[in-house]
Amino acid sequence: MEICGVKFTDLKEYDAVKQAIDALEVEGLKPTHDRVLGIKELLRGNIATSDIKKKYEEIQRVY
């Protein structure tokens, strides 16, 4: 199983990430490798939402 080049071996994890991606698409955001990987890591507890917010703020400063 794979989404945007990110591999999954656990069906529950795949389904959870797929649901999150579907929600992003409703909001107009396209899935990318980095977004899928970020969601996967967030669901695993390896990163916090504050890390994602910080990254988003860094990107916004560039633009």
Query: pLDDT of the chain along its 63 residues, tens only?
Result: 999 999 999 999 999 999 999 998 998 989 999 889 999 999 999 999 888 788 778 777 766
Which amino acid belongs to residue 4?
A: C
Cβ atoms 35, 3 nearer than 8 A: no
What pLDDT is stored for residue 61 in this prediction?
76
Q: With CA atoms as reference, report the closest residue to 55 among 41, 19, 9.
A: 41
- pTM reported for the whole predicted model: 0.77
What pLDDT is stored for residue 15 in this prediction?
97
Alpha-carbon dihedral angle through residues 3, 24, 13, 16, given to the nearest 10 degrees: -140
The residues pairing with 6 across neighbouring beta strands, listed in sequence order, are 3
What pLDDT is stored for residue 18 in this prediction?
97
What pLDDT is stored for residue 63 in this prediction?
64
